[in-house]
Structure 1
Amino acid sequence: MIGYALLPWIALTGHTLVNAALLRRPPREATVTERVAVLLPLRDEAARVTPCLESLLAQRGVADLEIIVLDDGSADGTAEVVRRVAGDRVRLLTGAPPAAGWLGKPHACAQLAAAAGDRDVLVFVDADVVLAPDAVAGGVALLRSAQVTLLSPYPRIVGAGRLVQPLLQWSWLTFLPLRLMERSPRPSLAAAGGQWLVADRAGYERAGGHAAVRGDILEDIGLARAVKRSGGRIALADGSRTATCHMYASWRELADGYAKSLWASFGSPAGAAAVVLLLLLLYAAPPIVALMSATVELALWSVCAYGMGVLGRVIAAAATGGRTWPDPLAQPLSIVVFAVLVARSFALRRRGRLSWRGRPV
């Protein structure tokens, strides 16, 4: 009886295991002959752009590589830091203010892509990402071997947020059929992480580039869907062995970062409520039920359900360079905190109080 009652948790954790086994990874020490442009949009990143720049300048394995940096109206001396660290080894552009209907990051990325001319491959990188010396070559090699238009190698997340940040990788390993996503033409079945994207230039242009997602808060997922609508293919990969991303330095930064985008992640408030309720029932409720159980059988079922949730987190962490212990034990609390962040995002959205980097969202 307990076995049948645990079927949802067994199925989800089994799916996590299957995805982890099939997860693509950029090859190490690859060499590529294509013309590659690494594109780095910056806005008020003076305090943290140096490690990213230094890692880009150290890239090897790409025969023809150009690094293009765009200063998007920074007020903290970002451009001066770029000049001091990179000198003339990068092309530094001064970005134009976003036109009507454009959000800041899509506008910056569109300008960078235009500046790249007819390069074969475009590699978009955020300022909080640090790449291993063979990362760009490995990303391009995997883009071609997987025969996709857009590749999203997910970096290892470091910094603040150990309680909720691992849910990013865990969620797509647990709920998203990765290989089916690659084969399916459905735009709704798409995922991507904008910290590091590798795009075939021709396919990127067929999809409309960042102009196609000019007003999207989640421009990375929007771009993946645009690629599918244009007939292209996308793929997620584990980039934790070749890239790290220091997304947030504090819990306050994390809360504000999640607030600007979580409201747009579920399609509608009703969709968000349904997803959050399901997560709470599956992963937060079992420990509570175990503590309040009137029977041994119910207590045993609850403990097993909790254990399956923890196991799923362990599998996801092992596959993506995360902490396999003891962080997964806090899975119920992670889900509760995530639910609070979702509610806060919608509340701030309703009040018109969302902004990022000094610009309203």
Structure 2
Amino acid sequence: MIIVAVVALLAWLWLAATGFWRTDQRLPPRHRPANWPSVVVVVPARDEAAVLPETLPTLLAQRYPGPLRVVLVDDGSGDDTAAVARRIGGDRLTITASGDRPPGWAGKPWALARGTAEAGDAEFLLFTDADIAHGPDSLTALVEAAGERDLVSQMARLRTRTAWERLVVPAFVYFFAMLYPFRRVNGPGRTAAAAGGCCLVRRTALERAGGVAAIRDAVIDDVALGRAIKRAGGRIWLGLAGDVRSVRPYPTLRSLWRMVARSAYTQLRHSVVLLAGTVLGLAVVFLAPPVLTFASTGVPRFLALAAWLLMTLTFVPMLRYHGRPWPAAVLLPVTAALYLLMTVDSAIQHWRGRGAAWKGRSYPRARA
């Protein structure tokens, strides 16, 4: 018990020192450009008829001073996605079909590639998901923040209306920041990532990185895009959004489970060793502190309680960002246990040949 408690406390002392838990990475200082660059917004949409009336108008109503077009790519939808987009309409909107997906391409990257082809020689591309609503000055702020950067990405605020969303969603962003600390992403080192819901990328930088084809088989396409741009010498930035939000509901545990499990094992590169290490790490770092707090006495209990306290304190800023009360931070071990089970289930689905499944598509051999 004392060995596990010591390991857990040392882990949390190190994690707290990294600052991954801070929520101060917002858009960098903004500078009004002398000439506003042209921007094309690319929206891949597959079976998104339900959310488009709430999100597409926010893109078409952007108060952007420069040339702006919106290209919605209907990615083989089985519902009225294209018809709903046409009804919303507008001079800025172009609707195109993704067409037949070539072998070796995942669905979303192919839709992004089709939209990029429609963009012509636009100076910037804004890749945004169909469920993302933008404030009226969102694009202007992104372009002003870009400066000399080649990619500026914001992690959209996710819904936290239902009880399950309030329990699971803040931890989703917290764990993402643990894997890809925003400050390290934004620095000169090798750590790279992006958030697919809102990615403003310079077209020439994307071309230097090999275009969308560089991430053609990536299921976790946003992180792959950030890596491709940074490896090609581009400067990237990732932070939390203010007026960019997801409207997609995840009202039940099952819907949240599917959202996490569809790519969790892909994130681990389909490695049994990494899976075992992740399960062990989650158990020791997140589950052991509360268990030992109640199951042990003396020094082990003191050390475990200290680790649990550090865990709780690091989670408070993320809860505040999502408008949740700080006492909910003590439930992080419960949420971590759910994520552990989701990760194991993701591996099981992969072994069964179902792979990273989403909206009727499955990528059993998907690249991380």
TM normalised by structure 2 equals 0.88
Report if the CA contact (8 A) 2:127-2:199 is conserved.
yes
Matches of 1:154 and 1:104, distance apart in 2:
21
1:260 aligned to 2:262?
Answer: yes
Change (3 A) 1:185 1:293: closer
How many Å apart are 1:347 and its aligned residue?
A: 0.3
Change (3 A) 1:17 1:112: closer
Partner of 1:193: 195
1:273-332 Cα offsets, whole Å, 9 max, x none, are 21332122112111110111132x3323222211111111112333x4452434322100
1:171 aligned to 2:172?
Answer: no
1:16 to 15, 19, 25: 19
What secondary structure is seen at the aligned counterpart in 1 of 2:326? coil
Partner of 1:150: 151
Query: Which residue identity does 1:358 align to in structure 2?
Result: G
Matches of 1:169 and 1:69, distance apart in 2:
27
Matches of 1:285 and 1:208, distance apart in 2:
45
Which sections of structure 1, spanning at least 5 residues, go unmatched?
A: none
1:177-204 Cα offsets, whole Å, 9 max, x none, are 4333333353xx2222111111011001
What secondary structure is seen at the aligned counterpart in 2 of 1:155? strand
Query: Which residue identity does 1:223 align to in structure 2?
Result: L
Partner of 1:120: 123
Report if the CA contact (8 A) 1:170-1:313 is conserved.
yes
Partner of 2:136: 133
Report if the CA contact (8 A) 1:36-1:62 is conserved.
no
Matches of 1:244 and 1:5, distance apart in 2:
34
1:182-231 Cα offsets, whole Å, 9 max, x none, are 33353xx2222111111011001111122111111111111111112211
TM normalised by structure 1 equals 0.89
Query: Which residue identity does 1:180 align to in structure 2?
Result: R
Matches of 1:153 and 1:14, distance apart in 2:
24
Matches of 2:267 and 2:351, distance apart in 1:
15
Report if the CA contact (8 A) 1:156-1:244 is conserved.
yes
Matches of 1:226 and 1:158, distance apart in 2:
29
After superposing the two structures, state which structure 1 stretch, 167-176 or 339-348, moved more.
167-176
1:115-170 Cα offsets, whole Å, 9 max, x none, are 101111100110111111111111122222xx322222111111453323222322
Matches of 1:220 and 1:56, distance apart in 2:
20
How many Å apart are 1:18 and its aligned residue?
A: 7.7
1:75 aligned to 2:78?
Answer: yes
Partner of 1:91: 94
Root mean square deviation of aligned Cα: 2.5
Report if the CA contact (8 A) 1:192-1:224 is conserved.
yes
Partner of 2:336: 335
What secondary structure is seen at the aligned counterpart in 2 of 1:221? helix
Which sections of structure 2, spanning at least 5 residues, go unmatched?
A: 364-368
After superposing the two structures, state which structure 1 stretch, 75-84 or 53-62, moved more.
53-62
How many Å apart are 1:15 and its aligned residue?
A: 2.8
Report if the CA contact (8 A) 1:49-1:128 is conserved.
yes
Partner of 1:54: 57
What secondary structure is seen at the aligned counterpart in 2 of 1:278? helix
How many Å apart are 1:26 and its aligned residue?
A: 5.9
Query: Which residue identity does 2:262 align to in structure 1?
Result: K
Question: What pairs up with 1:19-30 in 2 under 5 angstroms?
Answer: 19-21=22-24, 23-25=25-27
How many Å apart are 1:262 and its aligned residue?
A: 0.8
Report if the CA contact (8 A) 2:68-2:92 is conserved.
no
Report if the CA contact (8 A) 1:60-1:134 is conserved.
yes
Matches of 2:108 and 2:127, distance apart in 1:
11
1:13-62 Cα offsets, whole Å, 9 max, x none, are 243378434x1326789787110111111111011111111211221133
Partner of 1:41: 44
Question: What pairs up with 1:98-109 in 2 under 5 angstroms?
Answer: 98-109=101-112
1:71-104 Cα offsets, whole Å, 9 max, x none, are 1111111111111122444111122121111111
After superposing the two structures, state which structure 1 stretch, 109-118 or 168-177, moved more.
168-177
Report if the CA contact (8 A) 2:51-2:247 is conserved.
no
Query: Which residue identity does 1:166 align to in structure 2?
Result: P
1:221 to 199, 220, 223: 223
Matches of 2:332 and 2:233, distance apart in 1:
38
Matches of 2:74 and 2:7, distance apart in 1:
57
Change (3 A) 1:29 1:82: farther
| Equivalences, count | 353
Partner of 1:236: 238
After superposing the two structures, state which structure 1 stretch, 56-65 or 99-108, moved more.
56-65
Partner of 2:366: none
Report if the CA contact (8 A) 1:10-1:308 is conserved.
yes
Matches of 1:173 and 1:84, distance apart in 2:
38
How many Å apart are 1:246 and its aligned residue?
A: 3.2
Report if the CA contact (8 A) 2:8-2:289 is conserved.
no
